[in-house]
């Protein structure tokens, strides 16, 4: 079986065409992620309402609702394998996600809009769920982003009782009105990842709700690279949430599922 080791702005994934394959995807994900210490694993499948269905699993074999950078990577995988044209529709557990090829390596996805957006789920901590069922994110502003200094807080918030589904924990620091830095501790990985697309979008949604993104655009730099989130609104209602960034095929592996 051909499996691509891919990167989306530093988020790493194992990606394969799972159509017509009979696999235990949870166990397969753990096995494939261990090969390259990847953050997650994605299998493409048949879909009756999109170009393909995305099955997303975290490194520990737990199933995820969807993945922002992962969705951008599977867009490239599908395009490069002749499965789609330059625009595509992905069926995810959180709903349909639209994707576009912007260039040879640049891809955009329209993320699921927040089904939950609370600015004070805990004191100083916002909570966002993208889609329904949604990808859960805790969002906190910080003056500095010191990974080790913030690790105890990240681990505690990851399983805090305020977040019944658990949460990805996103610390951010703004360096200007529409750009800054982000650090994400992800559930299912149980550590920091080099990037998180839905995390970046959750930060953008929180800042938008606080009236802090007049241009409705946010560029966030993580350990792995930069992502741009563009927002659309109508009558102070969020109507569009778009994630742009790079994708990279790091290695093509021949694996036994």
Cα 74 → chain centroid: 12
Which is the catalytic residue, given 3, 41, 125, 196? 196
Q: Which two tokens stand for residue 149?
A: 């200094």
73 is annotated as an active-site residue: no
Q: Residues 126, 134, 140, CA angle at the centre, nearest 5°?
A: 20
Contacts with 4 (C-beta within 8 Å, 6 or more apart), sequence order: 14, 15, 16, 77, 249, 250, 251, 252, 253
Selecting among 3, 67, 73, 125, the annotated active-site residue is 67
Three-class SS state of 96: strand
Q: Is 75 a catalytic residue?
A: no
Return the closest-CA partner of residue 192 out of 221, 138, 151, 220: 151
- Active-site residue list: 67, 196
């Amino acid at each position: 079986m051909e499996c691509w080791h891919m990167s989306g702005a530093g988020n790493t994934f194992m990606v394969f065409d799972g159509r017509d394959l009979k696999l235990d995807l949870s166990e397969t994900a753990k096995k494939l992620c261990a090969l390259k210490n990847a953050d997650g694993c994605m299998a493409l499948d048949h879909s009756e309402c999109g170009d393909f269905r995305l099955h997303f699993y975290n490194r520990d074999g737990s199933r995820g609702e969807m993945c922002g950078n992962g969705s951008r990577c599977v867009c490239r995988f599908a395009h490069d394998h002749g499965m789609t044209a330059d625009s595509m529709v992905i069926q995810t557990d959180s709903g349909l996600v639209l994707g576009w090829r912007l260039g040879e390596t640049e891809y955009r996805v329209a993320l699921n809009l927040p089904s939950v957006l609370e600015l004070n789920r805990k004191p100083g901590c916002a909570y966002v769920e993208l889609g329904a069922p949604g990808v859960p994110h805790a969002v906190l502003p910080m003056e500095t982003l010191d990974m080790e200094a913030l690790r105890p807080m990240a681990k505690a918030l990851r399983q805090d009782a305020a977040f019944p589904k658990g949460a990805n924990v996103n610390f951010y620091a703004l360096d200007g009105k529409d750009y800054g830095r982000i650090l994400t501790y992800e559930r299912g990985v149980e550590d920091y990842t080099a990037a998180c697309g839905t995390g970046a979008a959750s930060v953008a949604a929180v800042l938008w709700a606080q009236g802090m993104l007049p241009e409705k655009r946010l560029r966030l730099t993580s350990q792995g690279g930069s992502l741009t989130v563009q927002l659309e609104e109508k009558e102070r209602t969020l109507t569009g949430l778009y994630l742009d960034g790079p994708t990279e095929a790091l290695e093509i592996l021949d694996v036994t599922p």
